[in-house]
Amino acid sequence: MQKYDLERDGLRGLNAVLHAQAENTNQTAWQIDNPKGSHAIAVGLDAPIEVTVKGSTGYYCGGMNQQATINVHGSAGPGTGENMMSGKIIIEGDASQYCGATGHGGLLVVKGNASSRCGISMKGINIVVHGNIGHMSAFMAQSGNLVVCGDAGDALGDSCYEARLFVRGSVKSLGADCEEKEMRPEHIEILTKLLAEAESDAKPEEFKRYGSARNLYNFDVDNAAAY
């Protein structure tokens, strides 16, 4: 395992050496010590490497990730996994606002709670939160899956499109044009796979599914009050 002391050697050097990794690298495992809430740790990675952050992170950890697996042994600041394309990010603690925002692919796992706007404008990413999520989560979510093993805050799925939202606990309120949907066998299959990948012992049958009522896909003056 390659070890990097972030406090001693600095953020620019860390991201430069991680960006230099290629698909055929033999330096596949990295450990980052002393992160101390630093911002932009391990952003823009594009190699099948595993990065373990031994502590909590600041803004945008793992942003734009491709291929890499990033393990945060602590909590994560706002925007973790923002615009990620593939790979996997696991947060052992809690996640701050808008984790997984605009994510196009990959899997983001939060083993604690996630704050407001989790999965905002998600575009294909899979997000599994073991705990609760805050208000306005999955706002304008376009595609992908958001799985919440706890409760959801106000305005879940406001103005969402084709994303699938699965919540095991209670939902404080649904956002504009979001409604409870039928849970069909294909959704149980999706949930079973995601819960296994996220190492959750929750049962797929315990969840309810939410999604778009499809009244706001195109502007209609009769629906103006819902905007």
227 residues of the chain, pLDDT tens digit each: 999 999 999 999 999 999 999 877 788 999 999 999 999 999 999 999 999 999 999 999 999 999 999 999 999 999 999 999 999 999 999 999 999 999 999 999 999 999 999 999 999 999 999 999 999 999 999 999 999 999 999 999 999 999 999 999 999 999 999 999 999 999 999 999 999 999 999 999 999 999 999 887 766 777 667 66
In tens, the pLDDT along 182-197 reads: 999 999 999 999 999 9
- Give bridge partners of residue 125 from the DSSP assignment: none
Q: How far is CA 90 from CA 71, 133, 164, 170, 187, in A?
A: 5, 16, 21, 24, 23
Backbone torsions φ then ψ of 143, nearest 5 degrees: -160, 170
Cα distance between residue 105 and residue 121, in whole Å: 12
Other Cβ atoms closer than 10 A to 40: 18
- Radius of gyration, CA atoms only, the chain: 18
Domain spans, the chain: 1-93, 121-217
pTM of the shown model:
0.94
Q: Are strands 164-167 and 143-148 parallel, antiparallel or unpaired?
A: parallel
